Amino acid sequence: MEMASRILYSSRQRMLKKRDDFEDVLEERRRSSDLRYALKCYTPSLYKGLVPCKASMLKTIVLQSDHLQYVIKQVSSESGDSSECVTEEASLILDEMAHRLQLSTVRFFAFTLSKAFKRLFRSVCVNEEGIQRLQQAVQEHPVVLLPSHRSYMDFLMMSYLLYMYDLPLPVIAAGMDFMSMKFIGEMLRMSGAFFIRRSFGGDKLYWAVFSEYVKTMLRNGYAPVEFFLEGTRSRTCKSLTPKTGLLNIVMEPFFKGELFDVNLVPVSISYERILEESLYARELLGVPKPKESTSGLLKARRVLSEDYGSMHVYFGHPVSLRSLAEGKINRSQYNLLPRYIPQKPSTDNHEFLNDAAFRLVRIQEENMVLKPWVLIATLLLQNPDGMDLSSLTEQTDWLRHLALAFGAFLDWPDHASCSEVISCSLALHRHLLTVSAGHVQLSVTEALEVETTPEEAVFHRAVVVLSCASYRNQILHVFLRPALLAVAMQSANSNRKDDIYNCFSFLRNMFSNEFILCPGDSVQDFEEACYLLIKRGVLQVLEHEIVMSASGHSTLAFLCAALDPFLQGYQVVCRYLCEETNENLTEKEFVPAVRNFALKLILAGRLKCYEALSSDLQKNTLAALLRLKAVRKVKVGDQVTLKVNKIAVNSLEDMLGGKIPSQKPALARL
C-alpha cells in the first residue's frame, strides 16, 4: 500500500524509473487461428474466488438496496407519486442502463476484433508485467480500470486484452449515444457496456439508480469497473481535466467502510496514427460530430485498408485507495449517519478527490508511449514553411535527446539510423505532408486540388495543422513545466528568481484548464522545471537569480515556441472580447464568434496561428477567464450571457505577451 501511495505522489523519480518491456500481442494472432482463439477456454481469476451473479440478480440487489429505497421514498414524497410508481420508474432506468454480459457475444467480438486489429495495426504492444500486477490486484480487492481516452478503439481494445489474458471482463460506462446504434448498441451491452446519460441535471432518482448500480458491482467484486476519467474522447490528444463524479462513486464504499480497499489502475493507450484524426480536426473547426450509427460504422470500413502503425497499452501500477487516503481523509464523519443516506462530500473529501483525479491522469500521461512522429510533428509546426530533410533529421535527433532527458517514454527503434526512423514516420503520415526535392512541410495540396475560396483554403490548412498538433500535444506534458519556465523568463525581463516565479505561477494558473497541472503544486512544478533545465545545462539557479547558460538559448527558444500557439490563441480570445464583443454575447454564440474573428485575422495576414481556430482552445480560454473572474455568466431568460470585464481581460492579454498587432494605437490601450 505504501508503494502505491509513493507511485502516485512521486515527483522527480519518474525521470529515473525503469518502465516495463512490451510484447506484441498480434504476433501470436497472425500465426494461429482466430476462431480457435475466440472459442478458447476462458476461466478468469475472480475477486476472492466469488462466482459472479447473473444480471437479473444484480438488478434485484440494486432495487432492494437501502440507499435506493430511501431515495424512492424521498422522490415519492416530493412528487406525490406512489412508491410503487417510483420503483417502476427506477426499474425502467435500470433496464435502460444495465449491461447484460454474455460470453457468446464476447467470443464474437474476440473473433471480429482479431481480424480488424491485424488489418489496422502493425503491432499492439502490451506491458505484460502490468498484466501480471493486474491479475494479482483483481484477486485482492475490487478493481477500477482508468484508461486514457483518445479513440473509440480504447474500450474495445481493453476488453479484447482482458479476454486474451484470462482476466475478468470489465463493466464499462458508455454514453447513451451508443444505444442509438441498432444491433451494435445491444452487442456492446452484451459485452459489458452499461449506458449512462451525458448529464443527469437534478434527476435525483436517476443519480441514485446509477450510483447504486456501480457501487453494487464494486462491493460484490462482480467485475472490474471501467470508465474514462476524462469523461470523453480528447479531440486534441492532450489529457482533459478529469471529471470526478464516477470517481467519487467508486471511492464512496471505501469511505463508508463497506470495502477494505479499492485498486485504481491507470491505463495509458497510445496510437502511432489515430483513426479519428481528421474527424477530430474538423470537429474542432465547427463541423458537427457525426452521430453514432450502425450505418456510419459500416461506411467507416474503409479505414481497414489504411495503415495505422503501432499501438501501445501500458497497464500502470495499481494505486491503493486506502494508502492514498491515509492521513488525508477522516472516514469517521461517515459514521454519523446510516450508510444508505446520501451525503455531500466534505470540503476535504472534494479536495482529495480532485487531487487524486489529477494525479491519476498525470500517471496516464507519464506512461504514454511516444513515437518518433510526435517529435517530427512538433518541429514541423514550429517551422510552417517547412524544413530541409537534413535539418529535420538533425533537429529530431536533438529533440529526441532533450525529450529523453526530461523523462519521455519514447519508443525509438534500436537498430535504425535517425534518417531511417524519420523516413518511416514520414511515410506513415504522408497524408499530412508534402515532401519535394529534400524539403518537408505540412501539406497544402488538399486545398489546391480544386478551386477554393480563401476561407476554404484556410479551413483545409487548419485541418492539416490541427491534425498535426494532435500528435505534438501527446508530448507536451514532457516539455510543459520547462516551457512555462522558459516563457516566464522571457516575460519577466528580470533574472530575479521571485519575479520569474511570479510569471511562472501566473502562466500556470492561466493554463490550468488547458493542461494537467495538479492543484497546489505550483512550487513543486517550478522546482521540477528548474531541475530539468539545470540537468540539461540550460540554466544556472543561484540563491536569488536564474541565469541562462551560454549554450541554453536554443533549448529555451524551442520551449517558448512549444507554448506559442496557446499564448497566441488565448490572446485572440482576449482581443475579441475587448474589441468585438457586444453586450449580449451568449455562451452559445461565443465559439463561432471567436472563430470568425480569428479567421478574419488570418485572412488579413495579421495572425499566422491556425490553432487559434480550435474550439477546444477557445473553450479553455473562456473557462480560465471565468475562473479568474474576468468574465461572468449571467442567466437571462433561457440563455446564458457573458459579461466581460474589459479592463481585466485587457490586463490578462498584456500579461500573456501581446503577440498580435493591435488595430488600435498603443496609447489608446493605456
What is the pLDDT at residue 302? 63
Q: Give residue 447's pLDDT.
A: 43
d(CA 64, CA 94): 12
One-letter amino acid at 491 equals S
The arithmetic mean of pLDDT across residues 70-80, rounded, is 91
Task: At 284, list the grid cell.
Answer: 474542432
The band of 291, judged by pLDDT with boundaries at 50, 70 and 90, is low
Lowest mean pLDDT among 2-11, 31-40, 203-212, 288-297: 2-11
CA distance 591 to 284: 10
Q: What is the pLDDT of residue 53?
A: 72
Distance CA 377, CA 296 (A): 30
Q: Is the pLDDT of residue 344 over 50?
A: yes
Q: Which of 189-198, 207-216, 353-362, 591-600 has the lowest mean pLDDT?
A: 189-198
- Asked whether residue 666 carries a pLDDT value surpassing 60, the answer given is no
Q: Give the tens place of pLDDT for each residue, 267-284.
A: 999 999 999 998 999 999
DSSP assigned state of 14: G
The confidence band for 345, taking pLDDT boundaries of 50, 70 and 90, is confident
Per-residue pLDDT at 1 exceeds 60: no
Cell of 243: 471529471
Which three-class secondary structure state does DSSP give residue 661? coil
The string of pLDDT tens digits covering residues 416-465 is 999 999 999 999 999 999 999 899 999 875 444 556 799 999 999 999 99
In 457-554, which ranges are E strands? Answer: 539-541, 546-548
Whole-angstrom CA distances from 614 to 88, 293, 376, 598 are 45, 26, 21, 10
* Amino acid 658: pLDDT: 45
| Mean predicted confidence (pLDDT) in 491-504 | 92
Q: Check residue 272 and give its pLDDT.
A: 97
If pLDDT is split at 50, 70 and 90, which confidence band does 14 have? Answer: very low
- Sign of the C-alpha dihedral computed for residues 367, 371, 375 and 378 taken in this order: negative
pLDDT at site 583: 78
Percent of the chain with pLDDT over 70: 91
Mean pLDDT of 641-651: 93
Q: Examine the pLDDT at 636 and tell me if it is beyond 70.
A: yes
Structural contact between residues 195 and 189, judged by C-beta atoms closer than 8 angstroms: yes
Distance (Å, rounded) from C-alpha 64 to C-alpha 87? 10
Give residue 448's pLDDT: 47
Helices (runs of H) and strands (runs of E) counted in the chain:
28, 16
Q: pLDDT: is 521 or 299 the higher one?
A: 521
The CA distance from 602 to 613, in Å, is: 10
Q: What pLDDT sits at residue 535?
A: 94
Nearest Cα residue to 334 out of 259, 405, 263, 224: 259
> pLDDT value at position 540?
92
Residue range 523-549: mean pLDDT, rounded: 94
User: What pLDDT score was predicted for residue 132?
Assistant: 96
pLDDT of residue 17: 54
Q: What are the residues whose beta carbons fall under 8 Å from the beta carbon of 451, sequence distance 6 or more?
A: none
The pLDDT score that the predictor gives to residue 179 is 66
Query: For residue 378, which amino acid is it?
Result: T
Nearest C-alpha neighbor of 357 from the set 231, 236, 483: 231
Cell of 22: 512490451
Say if residue 451 is exposed, middle or buried (CB neighbours under 10 Å; 0-12, 13-18, 19+). Answer: exposed
Tell which wins on pLDDT, 72 or 175.
72
| Predicted local distance difference test score (pLDDT) of residue 54 | 75
Of 415, 445, 417, the residue nearest 430 (C-alpha): 445
How confident is the model at residue 301, as a pLDDT?
60
Q: What is the pLDDT of residue 659?
A: 43
In angstroms, the CA 61 to CA 83 distance is: 17
Q: Is the pLDDT of residue 668 over 70?
A: no
Is 60 exceeded by the pLDDT of residue 3? no
* Euclidean distance between CA atoms 384 and 465, whole angstroms: 9
Give the cell for residue 643.
459579461
> At residue 292, does pLDDT exceed 60?
no
CA separation for the pair 152, 147 (Å, rounded): 12
Between CA 534 and CA 531 the distance in angstroms is 5
Distances (CA, A) of 381 to 239, 344, 467: 20, 46, 11
Q: Is residue 52 predicted with pLDDT exceeding 50?
A: yes
Average pLDDT, the chain: 88
**Angle at which helices 372-382 and 389-405 pack, to 10 degrees?**
120
Report the run of H or E that residue 271 belongs to, with start and end: strand 263-271
Cα torsion 212, 256, 134, 2 to 10°: value is 160
- State the pLDDT at residue 340: 76
Residues sharing a CB contact under 8 Å with residue 387, sequence separation 6 or more, in sequence order: 379, 380, 395, 439, 440, 441
